[in-house]
Amino acid sequence: MNLLVCRYAIRPGMPSPILDLEVANAVADGNVYRLFPDNSDVLDKNNGMMMGSLVEVDELEITVIVDNEVDVMSAISSGTVEDTRRFPDIATGESKVMQVGELSLNVMPMESICCGAHGLSVLVTANRGGIKRSLLFDTGPEEAVWAENAKRLGIDFGSIDLIQLSHWHRDHSGGMLKAVQMISKAKESASESLSPVIVDLHPDRPEYRGFMIKGQPISFPADPSFAEVRAAGGAVMKSAAAHTVLDDMFLISGFIESSNDYENGLRGGIRISSIEKGWEKDEEMADERFLMCNVKGKGIVMFTGCSHRGVVNASRNAVDSLGGSVPLYAVLGGYHLVGNTQLQVEETIKDLKALDPKILLPGHCSGWRAKYEIEKQMPGRLVPCTVGSKIRI
Rounded to a whole number of angstroms, the minimum distance from the CB of residue 44 to Zn ion is 30
The set of residues, in sequence order, having a beta carbon less than 8 Å from that of 234 and lying 6+ positions away, is 16, 18, 163, 180, 184, 196, 197, 198, 199
- Which of 246, 306, 349, 385 is the binder for Zn ion (CB under 5 A)? 306
- Name the one range near Zn ion by CB under 5 A: 163-171, 184-192, 216-224, 380-388: 163-171
Specify the 3-state DSSP secondary structure of 42: strand
Site for Zn ion contains 176 (CB under 5 A): no
Instruction: Report the 10 Å Cβ neighbour count for 285.
Output: 20
> What pairs with residue 280 in β-bridges?
271
List b or e across 323-340, with b for residues whose CB sees 16 or more CB atoms inside 10 angstroms.
Answer: eeebebbbbbbbbbbeeb
Q: Are 220 and 209 in contact (CB under 8 A)?
A: yes
Rg (CA), the chain: 21
CA distance 12 to 121: 27
Site for Zn ion contains 72 (CB under 5 A): no
Specify the 3-state DSSP secondary structure of 360: strand
Site for Zn ion contains 292 (CB under 5 A): no
Rounded to a whole number of angstroms, the minimum distance from the CB of residue 163 to Zn ion is 16
- Name the one range near Zn ion by CB under 5 A: 3-11, 131-139, 233-241, 300-308: 300-308
Specify the 3-state DSSP secondary structure of 106: strand
87 or 279: CB nearest Zn ion? 279
Q: Are 336 and 365 in contact (CB under 8 A)?
A: yes
CA distance 268 to 37: 39
- Name the one range near Zn ion by CB under 5 A: 57-65, 165-173, 196-204, 253-261: 165-173
128 or 169: CB nearest Zn ion? 169
CA distance 202 to 179: 18
> What pairs with residue 126 in β-bridges?
60, 133
Rounded to a whole number of angstroms, the minimum distance from the CB of residue 367 to Zn ion is 12
Rounded to a whole number of angstroms, the minimum distance from the CB of residue 304 to Zn ion is 10
252: region left, alpha or beta (phi > 0 left; psi from -120 to 50 alpha): beta
169 or 187: CB nearest Zn ion? 169
Rounded to a whole number of angstroms, the minimum distance from the CB of residue 238 to Zn ion is 19
Rounded to a whole number of angstroms, the minimum distance from the CB of residue 145 to Zn ion is 14
* N-terminal to C-terminal alpha carbon distance within the chain: 27
From the list 353, 347, 348, the residue with the least C-alpha distance to 377 is 353
169 or 202: CB nearest Zn ion? 169
Site for Zn ion contains 171 (CB under 5 A): yes
Q: How many residues bind Zn ion (CB under 5 A)?
A: 3
Name residues contacting Zn ion, limited to 319-358 (CB under 5 A).
none
175 or 233: CB nearest Zn ion? 175
Rounded to a whole number of angstroms, the minimum distance from the CB of residue 268 to Zn ion is 12
Q: Are 23 and 238 in contact (CB under 8 A)?
A: yes
Peptide bond into 17 cis (omega under 30): yes
48 or 333: CB nearest Zn ion? 333
- Which of 86, 169, 309, 371 is the binder for Zn ion (CB under 5 A)? 169
41 or 171: CB nearest Zn ion? 171
230 or 336: CB nearest Zn ion? 336
294 or 348: CB nearest Zn ion? 348
Rounded to a whole number of angstroms, the minimum distance from the CB of residue 307 to Zn ion is 9
Specify the 3-state DSSP secondary structure of 164: strand
112 or 307: CB nearest Zn ion? 307
Q: Judging by beta carbons within 10 Å of its beta carbon (0-12, 13-18, 19+), is residue 65 exposed, middle or buried?
A: buried
Q: Are 289 and 166 in contact (CB under 8 A)?
A: yes
- Name the one range near Zn ion by CB under 5 A: 106-114, 141-149, 183-191, 301-309: 301-309
Rounded to a whole number of angstroms, the minimum distance from the CB of residue 362 to Zn ion is 13
Rounded to a whole number of angstroms, the minimum distance from the CB of residue 89 to Zn ion is 28
Site residues, Zn ion (CB under 5 A) = 169, 171, 306
